[in-house]
Chain A
Amino acid sequence: MDFIEKFSGVFLIAGLFLFFMAFIGLAVVPVWMVDKVEPRQEIATSVPKLYLDTYSDVETYKAALRKGRDIYIAEACWHCHSQYVRPTANEELRYGPVSMPGEYQNELNLPQLFGTRRVGPDLSRAAYKKSNDWHYAHLYNPTSVVPQSVMPSYPWYFEVKDGVPQPKEEAKALVAYLQWLGSSVVEKSESFASYIDNPLPPKE
């Protein structure tokens, strides 16, 4: 039993063998399973109705989604907003249908954006809950639409023309991405607008 106090035991068995056993069991096998059961999906096959006026064809729409996702990562939105609905704690009542593995098998989830904290609400069912204009106003100054919000403002994605802030390309792309989150699910089920965490009416 001397090996458990020597380099051989510590380095080879604890360091390499036990680590790779766990890696195979808890990473390689589940990854292989998910990839087998849920094939990778296209992020969009056509331009949604909401964006027919904005994006002429599906490729420009997809480019906007990618750009929006990159901004979502750059501003570390995923630190305060999660992207999955759990089958517990009444989340299917608050947000929408429980998340399924296949929803996330696409290029916009490379890397995945599940998140581990909800300072703000979950966003995996954000599609069409609020209008584009609500999102622009909210990104420009969150407290203007939700007075108690602790979300930071993102004015650098807007330019002020004649005293009125207008969204730049980046803001449009980010909102296109937010309106895409869960859109594949909303088409199949009813509108998410009936769920509980609906926009609060702005306080007078």
Chain B
Amino acid sequence: MTQAEHKKEELIDYKLISWHFYAGIFYIFVSILAGLSYSLQFLQKYPFPGVEFLSPGRIRLVHTNGVAFGWLINGLVAILYYIIPKLTGHSVLSRKLSYLVFCVYNVLVVGCVIGYLAGKGQAIEWGETPAFLDPFIALGVVLLVINLLTPIFKIRAQKMYVSLWYAAAALIWTPLVYVMGNFLPQYIYPGTSGATITSMYIHDLVGLSVTPLGIAATYYLLPVVMKRPLYSHALSIIGFWGLAFFYPLNSAHHYLFSPIPMWTQYASIGVHVVVYTVVFNIFATIATDWKQLPDNIPLRWIFFGTLAYLITCIQCAVQVTLSAQSIIHFTDWVVGHSHFVLFGTFSFWVTAWVYYILPRIWGVPLYSLSLARWHFWLSALGISIMQIDLLAAGVMQGMMWKNLVPFIDSVAASAPFWWTRTFSGIMILTGECLFLVNLYSTWQDSKRVSSGVLQSQTV
């Protein structure tokens, strides 16, 4: 290791990164358990019927928000704490601030869960965080952004690596999107006018926050784990600017055929083709040495995540047309799509990072490759079954509604699909259990060997 590399290592706070990952892994476990019990309600087999604080409607909030804010944001922020100092050569503004934000953020996540169970959720999709906690969350996000943008700002005169474009843009978009979506429809604009803003919020939170952060993480990790350069720099430029230009313009598609002005609904049929550049770039890089796939654990998670990203992007382009919306909107199709986006794509990309970085932080190799393979196949098969199952259910429900079948018959006809969904959920949960066992055993190993970066601050 050269002296320059050594200096860069000192900029990174590995303890903070591992804390963020531990919190995230805890929340994904809670979220999957919540989702699984919620799915039992659809089979008329809910384990806690008639218990106010565990009502399925409230548990659903724990499931969706736990995945998005507990697991994905914790994981993606941990990744930012790693790649930003690495790529800029500067430390974050203040390490104390990092720990403060970590504590405040995770206290808020727990506060939100308690709020949901007490019936204090807010009626804004993906922004259900209780209204009285929203100002604190906004403040926490602003502090996080200041902390992480400082090192990027210090190298403003130089050209930056593609991961930093996505990171810098996402860091400015996130607070803007959050404030826009959580305050304007709640306090100022009712009904139809509020819905134009809410639909923009739902779309932008995924498109301008989770997506760029996920792509930033993957564009960094892919060349590192493959020890190969990224396939094309030009494609990166097209992909980034395509996202920045087209994504915000795509925002009305959550309320097509609703009373919001029709021209905003036409505007939502934008071009999704640009995101394929990202997919092509990643696959072309993997194709330069695809024989690494079987044995390189982080790489296979990146590979499947990118495959899922491609599939969801093709779906997006179809879904935002009015004719497709006429049938599939309000059905399980949408549920299947969002599971494939948040679990199939982004959770897979973040999991690749966990497999890459935690053993390095602990200074030992992964405890079991075979457990990691089981985790991968259970997750990949589980989410694929869930996706196909829910898409099919969605088309069936949409057709039944259009053909004026009594509503309850469409519910009864969905039962086999909902059973399949629960079983695929059990597969995913089993995979996560193996993941925990594997990580715990690796951590046990590390206690016997004291060469981890936490001790020596080197990788």
Instruction: Please report which residues of chain A, range 79-107, place their CB below 8 angstroms from some CB of chain B when the two chains form the complex.
Output: 79-80, 82, 84, 86-91, 93-94, 99-107
A191 to chain B, nearest CB (A): 19
Chain A: CB-nearest residue to B418: A150
Interface pair A103/B259, CB less than 8 Å apart? yes
B434 contacts chain A at the CB level, 8 A cutoff: no
A65 to chain B, nearest CB (A): 14
Inter-chain CA distance A148–B50, complex, in Å, is: 18
A51 contacts chain B at the CB level, 8 A cutoff: no
Interface pair B156/A7, CB less than 8 Å apart? yes
Inter-chain CA distance A11–B148, complex, in Å, is: 13
Chain B: CB-nearest residue to A146: B408
Q: Say whether chain B's binding surface is mostly helix, strand, loop, or mixed.
A: helix
Contact A152-B186, Cβ < 8 Å, known A22-B251, A111-B198: no
Binds A, one of B20-28, B240-248, B288-296: B240-248
Inter-chain CA distance A27–B255, complex, in Å, is: 13
Partner of B159, one of A2, A35, A77: A2
Chain A contacts for B237, CB-based, 8 A: 4-5
Q: Which of B123, B187, B261, B264 has the most CB of A within 10 A?
A: B123
Q: How many residues of A contact B (CB 8 A)?
A: 80
A143 contacts chain B at the CB level, 8 A cutoff: yes
Digitize A33-48: 1 where CB-to-B-CB distance is under 8 Å, 0 elsewhere.
Answer: 1110010100000000
Interface pair A93/B404, CB less than 8 Å apart? yes
Contact A197-B407, Cβ < 8 Å, known A79-B60, A94-B401, A113-B123: yes
Interface pair B173/A101, CB less than 8 Å apart? no
Chain A contacts for B248, CB-based, 8 A: 18-19, 21-23, 26
Binds B, one of A54-62, A118-126, A128-136, A178-186: A118-126
B258 contacts chain A at the CB level, 8 A cutoff: yes
A144 contacts chain B at the CB level, 8 A cutoff: no
Digitize B136-157: 1 where CB-to-A-CB distance is under 8 Å, 0 elsewhere.
Answer: 0000000000000000110111
B78 contacts chain A at the CB level, 8 A cutoff: no
Chain B: CB-nearest residue to A13: B244
Partner of B200, one of A23, A76, A106: A23
Chain A contacts for B252, CB-based, 8 A: 26
Inter-chain CA distance A196–B260, complex, in Å, is: 26
Interface pair B192/A150, CB less than 8 Å apart? no
Digitize B49-83: 1 where CB-to-A-CB distance is under 8 Å, 0 elsewhere.
Answer: 11010011110110000000000000000000000
Q: How large is the interface on B (under 10, 10 to 19, 20 to 34, 35 or more residues)?
A: 35 or more
Inter-chain CA distance A2–B160, complex, in Å, is: 10
Inter-chain CA distance A146–B407, complex, in Å, is: 11
Chain B contacts for A11, CB-based, 8 A: 168-169, 172
Chain A contacts for B168, CB-based, 8 A: 7, 10-11, 15
A116 contacts chain B at the CB level, 8 A cutoff: yes
Interface pair A73/B122, CB less than 8 Å apart? yes
B86 contacts chain A at the CB level, 8 A cutoff: no
B267 contacts chain A at the CB level, 8 A cutoff: yes
Contact A106-B190, Cβ < 8 Å, known A23-B180, A34-B196: yes
Inter-chain CA distance A193–B401, complex, in Å, is: 18
Interface pair A82/B330, CB less than 8 Å apart? yes
Contact A107-B60, Cβ < 8 Å, known A75-B119, A90-B402: no
A49 contacts chain B at the CB level, 8 A cutoff: no
Chain A to chain B contacts (Cβ below 8 Å), 15 pairs: A18-B248, A19-B176, A25-B249, A26-B251, A31-B197, A34-B196, A76-B61, A82-B330, A91-B401, A101-B192, A112-B191, A116-B334, A120-B411, A150-B44, A152-B56
Chain B positions near chain A (C-beta within 8 angstroms):
41-44, 46, 49-50, 52, 55-58, 60-61, 119-125, 128, 152-153, 155-160, 164-165, 168-169, 172-173, 176, 180, 185-187, 189-198, 200, 202, 208, 237, 240-241, 244-245, 248-249, 251-252, 254-255, 257-261, 263-264, 267, 322, 325-327, 329-331, 334-335, 398, 401-404, 406-408, 411-412
Besides A7-B168, A111-B185, A116-B330, 20 new A-B residue pairs in contact (Cβ under 8 A), listed by A number: A5-B237, A6-B157, A13-B244, A15-B244, A19-B173, A22-B251, A26-B251, A34-B192, A34-B196, A34-B261, A74-B120, A104-B192, A111-B122, A112-B192, A114-B195, A114-B255, A116-B255, A117-B331, A148-B412, A196-B404
